[in-house]
Amino acid sequence: MRLVNLENDQVRGKDCSMIPQILNRKYEIGTKIFSFTDDSRNEVLGEGTGKRKITVRLFYPVTMSSIEGAKKAPYVSENKWECLRKMYHMPKSAGVVNEVDIYENVPMIEEKFPLVLYNHGYSGYIEANTFLCMEIVSRGYIVASIGHSYEGLCTEYDDGSFVPFDKKINKMMYQKGAFRAILAQLKLLKKKGSIEEIYKDFLMFEKEHTPYIVGRLKEWSADTLCALKIVKERFADNIDLTNGVAATGHSMGGALAYYLCQTSNEISCGLNIDGGLFGDYREMTLTKPFFQISCKENWNVESAVLLHRKALVYCAIFDNMKHIGFTDAKFFIPVKMIVGKMDAMKMHNYLTKCHIFFLDKYLKGLDVKKIESDDNEIKIDISETE
């Protein structure tokens, strides 16, 4: 195991307009969005009619010459920003975070790049980690960010239509009610004991309070594998599958990356950004490289990644972080109790380092020895066991 502990006592300033600048980029970044239906599955959410519809936002490398005269794409649409503003109770005066350094529908480079699948968290959105996706693409990868209809904050389709989060999910999500689930979760997060003991309690929590989430994990897997099939068909000339496909994501999307590594031959390695490991994996053995990125307070529901494995597992545990702080929200919601105390740019840089280290090693096959740190405020403890 490679254990990285990150600690920083600085407190975020109140500048909500901060946008990370990509340094040492090899490529500019293009993006396009497309939607499709999975004819093998009926939709059960929303109005419960028709087939399951899925959206993909593709981020891909482009040349400097291809973006000349092109207009920068908005971070999100005005409609989605309004949803975000209401979700996080931001004032109406809060403007849209716009004109990031990505360009819509510019030509793709006639080269092949490794493919990374990104999945947002439950009630998240397809652009929730856009800045991370940009960093990854700028180093020579293609990222397909997958939207899950009715389970994202707002899922937009390529024809301009959209569906909001299905509010009836709030009643289905917790079997014995949200209040009892929150109390049980807090108790679990504070529990002392071995990883095996805590995992046993987590499975009991899951069975008693959140069986709905486990069921949806399987549906998200179907969404993702369907999206992967479409991406491979449409962009066959641009994707390098030599070392397989990586999966990453935040929260539910990160848990999904672990689930996919355990259940799908399509996925060769994965990263989980602070997602509880929902699902019973006691009869499974992890055989693919994996990177668990966690905030310290959530480690109990993620530590089972170290059990039942033959592959190398890397772990990065961040102090002074909150769950939502692992998304782009850290740049426009300067509320420490929501995103944590760690400086937003420092957090972003280390989240990027973790991803690039892991992807370069396992998708590009590069000889990457360790995660570099030139910051005295970051404590790195490295050890390896298999």
The reported pLDDT for the residue numbered 16 is 40
Given phi > 0 = left and psi -120 to 50 = alpha, else beta, which region is 306? Answer: alpha
Whether 381 has a pLDDT exceeding 50, the answer reads no
- Tell me the average pLDDT across 207-231: 95
Whether 162 has a pLDDT exceeding 60, the answer reads yes
Of the chain, the percentage scoring pLDDT greater than 70 comes to: 90
Whether 9 has a pLDDT exceeding 70, the answer reads no
The reported pLDDT for the residue numbered 277 is 95
Largest separation between any pair of C-alpha atoms in the chain: 59
The reported pLDDT for the residue numbered 76 is 86
- At residue 96 the predicted structure's pLDDT band, cuts being 50, 70 and 90, is low
Q: Is the pTM of this model over 0.75?
A: yes
The reported pLDDT for the residue numbered 294 is 92
The reported pLDDT for the residue numbered 331 is 86
- Digit-coded pLDDT (tens) for 295-334: 999 999 999 999 999 999 998 888 889 999 999 988 888 7
- At residue 89 the predicted structure's pLDDT band, cuts being 50, 70 and 90, is confident
The reported pLDDT for the residue numbered 84 is 81
Average pLDDT in the chain: 87
Of the chain, the percentage scoring pLDDT greater than 90 comes to: 66
Cα→Cα distances 344→40, 347, 370, Å: 42, 5, 23
- Assign 3-class secondary structure to the chain: CEEEEECCCCCCCCCCCCCCCCCCCCCEEEEEEEEEEEEEEECCCCCCCCEEEEEEEEEEEECCHHHCCCCECCCCCHHHHHHHHHHCCCCCCCCCCCCCCCEECCCCCCCCEEEEEEECCCCCCCCCCHHHHHHHHHCCCEEEEEEECCCCCEEECCCCCEEECCCCHHHHHCCCCHHHHHHHHHHHHHCCCCHHHHHHHHHHHHHHHCHHHHHHHHHHHHHHHHHHHHHHHHCCCCEEEEEEEEEEEECHHHHHHHHHHHHCCCEEEEEEECCCCCCCCCCCCECCCEEEEEEHHHHHHCHHHHCCECCCEEEEEECCECHHHHCHHHHCCCCHHHHECCCHHHHHHHHHHHHHHHHHHHCCCCCCCCCCCCCCCCCCCCCCCC
Q: Which of 92-96, 103-107, 131-135 has the lowest mean pLDDT?
A: 92-96
Question: How is residue 202 written in tokens?
Answer: 């987590």
Question: Could you tell me which CATH number the domain at 2-362 has?
Answer: 3.40.50.1820
The reported pLDDT for the residue numbered 48 is 85
The reported pLDDT for the residue numbered 99 is 73
